[in-house]
Amino acid sequence: MSIHSFTKDKDLVTRSIAGETLIVPVRSGISDLDCTYVLNEVGSRVWELLDQRRPVDKIVEAICAEYDVPRDQAALDIGELLGSLETAGLIHPAGEAETSSMKSKSNP
């Protein structure tokens, strides 16, 4: 994966319940319950690690250590997860969200 790290979109509501993470996008100040995303235990851990702005390779290392999974498999699965989260607009390459936010503030 060529992107080094990601940041979460700021317009989300998340809740952790029974080892899973529910993610609900907020559009125009309203929760979009038709677009609720659910992450399992490992996906939830990846989501937590995104808070620390870790590079993707460090997230892979952490998941390998915590869940005793082969590196190749973890890298593949995490790459697919991050790709899906990015496609859904839940995460952005680090720096991109801040840059677009700053542009929108300077151009009302």
Whether the predicted pLDDT of 64 surpasses 90: yes
Res 102: pLDDT: 38
Among 34, 14, 21, 10, smallest CA distance to 101 is for 10
Res 31: pLDDT: 61
Residue pLDDT, tens place only, 7-55: 999 999 999 999 999 999 887 666 666 688 999 999 999 999 999 889 9
- By CB atoms closer than 10 A (0-12, 13-18, 19+), residue 105 is exposed
Let me know how long the chain is: 108
- Give the C-alpha separation, 78 to 94, whole Å: 16
Tell me the domain boundaries of the chain: 6-106
Question: Worst-scoring range by mean pLDDT, 6-15, 30-39, 75-84, 93-102?
Answer: 93-102
Answer yes or no: are the C-beta atoms of 4 and 79 closer than 8 Å: no
Res 52: pLDDT: 86
Answer yes or no: are the C-beta atoms of 45 and 66 closer than 8 Å: yes
**Considering the entire predicted model, what is its pTM?**
0.80
CATH architecture classification, 6-106 = Orthogonal Bundle (1.10)
Query: CA–CA distance from 42 to each of 63, 69, 97, 99, 102 (Å)?
Result: 8, 11, 25, 30, 33
Res 107: pLDDT: 45
